[in-house]
A and B are shown apart, each in its own frame.
Chain A
């Protein structure tokens, strides 16, 4: 006899039993312990047929192929550049993926990306969870110009970006700021008016705090539209 003990969109906590029996199957952030399905992170239940997964509300970034991330250059050499994206893992931009220019082995790499530079890069290949490759060749991938950086929970990034980028576009339009969001939770904001940059930051913090609620898009719109 299988029992589902939770509902769609219910918020569950680590160690919480979400189903009994063998009929339900564990997906992301759910594990099976004998005949119980157990939540491993704080998050929202999402049901898909017999699969039960949890959309986390908190937790570290787990890199996947194709992710756009923001990181800081920490080393360079004949291999290319090493980038820190905030995890115990080494991300590398191989020499061939650094630029559409043809890079000789003895080229001055710092002309492209120097120590301490921040870059927007794309994950091309994740190895065993510890090493992964990045590329700088692609639309929007670049060294970042001066701007402010903020960190958000990696789990909140999808909500901040929104369906097809709708949420982040709304923020950009209302504040007239350039915004880049890395899947690893680093956000870069640059605008002409400091007050507008702050509004973008506050809008993003609002999304972070209320990411699990409905009607959020309207509330964010209301926040962005109010006159200071």
Chain B
């Protein structure tokens, strides 16, 4: 990472500010737009956090349940770091960055209980609903973890099951039945980054290049946690983790307000 920018970022942080004059625990402007691909996706959304822009869509399919969960449907999350969104992203099969984003987003959703997988069962042992969520950054300027998660959640909120006629899905004919997100299990995801000695929320792409550690935290409405992912190379002390979790819980209240608007 070029030291000129890293040194400057650290110097700004030492002064309690950042490149765009935000405080270390401040999010950029967040906006959520629903139904951006209404004709094709069963649910879709666009999330912007500052200049970072992400779109996501939900497609549903019917399939056989897993043998060990005969009465439960499932979700699958796929996030692809499109080369169009950042000059540093390369074409080709999903990078480990894409895979980590996919799996962390999946973990927060799956472990929270926000989706009752039993309600996705159509016929025990035979047929269940699978919700397939695909997330794509259009412009990647940092904090894809939070943007991707929020976008997936928004796409689920937007989702309506299509009508089924003679056991066949009639795509393009939405019913009134949505994903039925369980309100008191609705998780938000907040990532706290460590840049030098500072804990930072919502870094830009440049700031991310200066970071040495991060912790993504999935937080439930009652402030219990449902998922964690530590990333990058520096080891963290348990005090730091404590501070990061506290900060994430605090910021999740803001994210929740934005989501529920």
A-side residues, CB < 8 A to B, are 72, 116-118, 144-149, 190, 194-195, 198
Instruction: Judge if B224 is at the interface, Cβ distance under 8 Å.
Output: no
Contact string against A for B residues 49-85, beta-carbon threshold 8 Å, 1 for contact and 0 otherwise: 0000000000000000000000000000000000000
| A145-B4, A149-B5, A194-B21 known, 8 other contacts, Cβ within 8 Å | A116-B3, A117-B2, A118-B4, A144-B4, A146-B11, A149-B4, A194-B17, A198-B19
Docked Cα-Cα span, A175 to B121, in Å, equals 63
Instruction: Judge if B7 is at the interface, Cβ distance under 8 Å.
Output: yes
Contact B2 A116 (CB under 8 A): yes
Which of B1, B8, B18, B20 is within 8 Å of A190, CB to CB? Answer: B8
Given A195-B21, A198-B20, A198-B21, residue A117 in contact with residue B15 (CB < 8 A)? no
Closest B residue to A195 by CB, please name it. Answer: B21
Contact A148 B1 (CB under 8 A): no
Instruction: Judge if B169 is at the interface, Cβ distance under 8 Å.
Output: no
Docked Cα-Cα span, A72 to B2, in Å, equals 8
Docked Cα-Cα span, A148 to B15, in Å, equals 15
Cβ–Cβ < 8 Å partners of B4 in chain A: 117-118, 144-147, 149
Cβ–Cβ < 8 Å partners of B7 in chain A: 146
Cβ–Cβ < 8 Å partners of A118 in chain B: 2, 4
Closest A residue to B10 by CB, please name it. Answer: A146
Cβ–Cβ < 8 Å partners of A149 in chain B: 4-5
Docked Cα-Cα span, A194 to B11, in Å, equals 10
> 7 closest A-B pairs (Cβ-Cβ)?
A146-B7, A146-B8, A116-B2, A194-B17, A118-B4, A146-B4, A198-B21
Contact B15 A194 (CB under 8 A): yes
Docked Cα-Cα span, A118 to B12, in Å, equals 19
Most buried by B among A72, A190, A194, A195: A194
Closest B residue to A72 by CB, please name it. Answer: B2
Contact A116 B12 (CB under 8 A): no
Given A147-B8, A198-B20, residue A116 in contact with residue B1 (CB < 8 A)? yes
Docked Cα-Cα span, A59 to B20, in Å, equals 27
Docked Cα-Cα span, A165 to B27, in Å, equals 37
Residues of B91-119 at the interface with A, using a CB-CB cut-off of 8 Å, are: none
Contact string against A for B residues 13-45, beta-carbon threshold 8 Å, 1 for contact and 0 otherwise: 001011111000000000000000000000000
Q: For residue A184, give the distance in angstroms from its CB to the closest CB of chain B.
A: 15
Docked Cα-Cα span, A117 to B3, in Å, equals 7
Closest B residue to A150 by CB, please name it. Answer: B19
Closest A residue to B15 by CB, please name it. Answer: A194
Q: For residue B195, give the distance in angstroms from its CB to the closest CB of chain A.
A: 14
Closest A residue to B8 by CB, please name it. Answer: A146
Docked Cα-Cα span, A117 to B21, in Å, equals 25
A-B contact pairs, 18 of them (CB 8 A): A72-B2, A116-B3, A117-B2, A118-B2, A118-B4, A145-B4, A146-B3, A146-B4, A146-B7, A146-B8, A147-B4, A148-B5, A149-B4, A194-B18, A194-B21, A195-B17, A198-B19, A198-B20
Docked Cα-Cα span, A118 to B8, in Å, equals 13
Most buried by B among A145, A146, A190: A146
Most buried by A among B1, B4, B5, B20: B4
Contact A148 B19 (CB under 8 A): yes
Residues of B215-259 at the interface with A, using a CB-CB cut-off of 8 Å, are: none
Q: For residue B168, give the distance in angstroms from its CB to the closest CB of chain A.
A: 48
Closest B residue to A192 by CB, please name it. Answer: B15
Closest B residue to A149 by CB, please name it. Answer: B5
Cβ–Cβ < 8 Å partners of A72 in chain B: 2
Docked Cα-Cα span, A144 to B11, in Å, equals 15
Q: For residue B260, give the distance in angstroms from its CB to the closest CB of chain A.
A: 32
Docked Cα-Cα span, A190 to B11, in Å, equals 11
Q: For residue B21, give the distance in angstroms from its CB to the closest CB of chain A.
A: 5
Closest B residue to A147 by CB, please name it. Answer: B8
Closest B residue to A194 by CB, please name it. Answer: B17
Q: For residue B7, give the distance in angstroms from its CB to the closest CB of chain A.
A: 4
Closest A residue to B3 by CB, please name it. Answer: A116
Closest A residue to B16 by CB, please name it. Answer: A194
